[in-house]
Structures are given as structure tokens and as C-alpha cells.
Amino acid sequence: MLLFSYLLMSGITTGALYALVALGIVVVNKATGVINFAQGEFFMFTGFVGWMLHVQFGMNYPLSFLLAVTVGFLLGTLTDRIAFRPIAKTDIVSLVLATVGIGFILKGLARVIWGGKADYLSFPPITSPEPIMVGSLMVIPQQLAVLAGTIIIMLIFAAFFRLTRAGKMMQATADNSRAALLVGIRTDRIYTLAFGTGAAIAAAAAVLTAPLTLLYPDIGFAFFLKGFAAAVLGGLTSLPGAVLGGLIVGIAESLAGGYIHSSVMELSPFLVIMIVLVLRPTGLLSFRKARRV
């Protein structure tokens, strides 16, 4: 029981992080119809930025968090300007290769700037590392902090889409970009905003998770694949679906890792992506017409 509760708790925590990465992927895909292959590298790079500000420059945690998210947003808008806007009307091969290229530039930069110090950097925890008992559940406070942070970010996000003008314009553009253009929405700016928001969410996820995991330049790809698996489970354009998908992937992976073998965890994105894309390409939450795959 203790093992189960521990696995469940860590599954929910990592699942929440996958959900954030998935949200970033979904926001960009919903608005532009493109998958940003550099999403995982945004996560990695901004995680390093947060580490540098917090550990090397000694800033407090909330300030480094905000700055890292800002850097993430700028990276996202820059990616839109370089690797999406100029080639948006060309073929999908170019779009994919351009974001892959951006991802590799970020990975190389991170390796050159931070890689030499120690390949695996750790982020000091923001709460005490001692586990506490909540009823019969064993919980590490840091996990609670990550979970709370994730929920807050998701709520902010939902509020942004429901309540703000920019959020409504993004929804309109996602629904029908031509109609949105006709009613006077500058869809170009919405695309930029979508890339920026997606990257900012990745940054938030990275700085939240950094105290729980180790940072290294190759971490991005694994998170990208898992986030994509979560997004695919949710149907790729559904925000609640991305959250649900993230939790499912996180919990399933944690249980499989605990009861079968820890190496099975790395296989989860492959299984999820293959099974869902081949058998149910519309995702778990979708009841509408089949989507083009």
C-alpha cells in the first residue's frame, strides 16, 4: 500500500508535468496546425536558465521562475518569426525540419554554455526534502509544491482563454482562421502569441520540475515525446484532453516502473503514440468527426 501510494503520488506529479508540456504542444497545434518539435528543447533550455538565475546568480525562486517564463515566451515568439512565419505557406516537411533545427540549436547552446560544468545539474529543493505522511499516503512536499504550481498554471491558462480578449481571439483563430481574419483579428499575431504561450508553459513546467529531476541537455526530447503522447491521448487540440492525457501517461508509467521494471517507463510514449494514432486518432475525449491524420 505504501509503495502503491508512493507510485500514485509520483505518477500524478510527473503526469501533471507531462500535462503542461502537452498543453504547450496543443496550444501551438490548435492555433497553427503545426507541431513545434522544439517544445522539448524550450523545456530544457528554460530549465537551465532558471537554474542559472537561481543557483548561479542567487536570485530568489519566484523571480527566477518569472524570468525563465519570460525567456521562454521570447524564445517562442522568436521561433515563430524564424521557423514558422516565413515558411507557413510552404510544405509540412519544411515546417517540421525548421523547428527540429531550432531545437538542435538550443540543445547545442545549452551544451556549450552549461554542459561542461557537470553533465547533470541539480536544482536545490524549495521545500524540505523529508517525506511526510498524509493519512496513509507518503508524500514528498516538493511533489505537492509542483502539483499546486501545475494546477495554478492550468487555472491561469483556462482563465486566459475564457476571460481575456487575446484568449478569445486565439480560440476564434483556432476555430476558423479565415473567418477570424475577416472579422479583423490579426492571425499572424495570434500565431506568434500561440508560439510564445506554448514556450512559456514549457518554461513554467521546467522550473517547477527542476528541483525534482536532474537537468541535462538531452532531457528535452524525452519530455517532448511524453508530452506529445499525452497530447495525442487527448486528441491534440483539446486542452482538458491534454491534461487528462498527461495524468494517464504519468500514472501508468509510474505504476509500470514500480511493478514491472524501471526501464519500461521510457517505452511508454512509443506504445501510447503508436496505439492511439493507429486505433483512435481522434483521442480519448473527442466524439466529433474523424480528424485528418
Partner 1 sequence: MPFGRRNVFLALLAIGAIIPAFANGYQLFVGNLVTIYILLAIGLNILVGYAGQLAFANAAMFGIGAYATGLLQVHLGWPFWIAFPSGGLVAAAVGTLLALPALRMSGLYLALSTLAFAQATQWVFLHWERVTFGAGGFKTPQLSFAPLPISKPIGLYYVSLGLVVLLYVFARHVVTSRTGRAFVAVRDGEIAAESLGIDLLRYKALAFGISGFYAGIAGGLYSALLNFVAPEGYDLFQMIIHKATIVVGGMGSIAGSVIGAAIIILVLELLREVKGLQEIAFGALLVGFVLFMRGGLITVLRRYLRGWEEPLRIKGGESTETPPRAAPQPSVVDK
Could you say whether residue 290 binds partner 1 (CB under 8 A)? no
Point out which span in 102-110, 121-129, 131-139, 171-179 binds partner 1 (CB under 8 A).
102-110
Contact 127, 141 (CB under 8 A): yes
> Which x/- pattern over 118-157 shows residues binding partner 1 (rule: CB under 8 A)?
----------------------------------------
The whole-angstrom separation of Cα 173 and Cα 222 is 30
Buried b (16+ CB within 10 A) or exposed e, 51-64: bbbbeeeebebeeb
The whole-angstrom separation of Cα 182 and Cα 31 is 16
CA-based nearest residue to 253, from 243, 242, 240, 263: 263
Alpha helices in 111-238 (DSSP H): 141-163, 165-175, 177-182, 187-209, 219-233
By CB under 8 A, name the one of 4, 57, 104, 259 that touches partner 1: 104
Region 38-97 residues binding partner 1, contact defined as CB under 8 A: 82-83, 86-87, 90, 92-94, 96-97
Residue 182 vs 290, nearer CB to partner 1 = 290
Burial (0-12, 13-18, 19+ Cβ within 10 Å), 110: buried
By CB under 8 A, name the one of 47, 149, 217, 257 that touches partner 1: 217
Size of the site for partner 1 (CB under 8 A): 45
Residues that bind partner 1 (CB under 8 A): 34-35, 37, 82-83, 86-87, 90, 92-94, 96-98, 100-112, 115, 217, 221, 225, 228-229, 232, 263, 266-267, 269-270, 273-274, 277-278, 281, 293
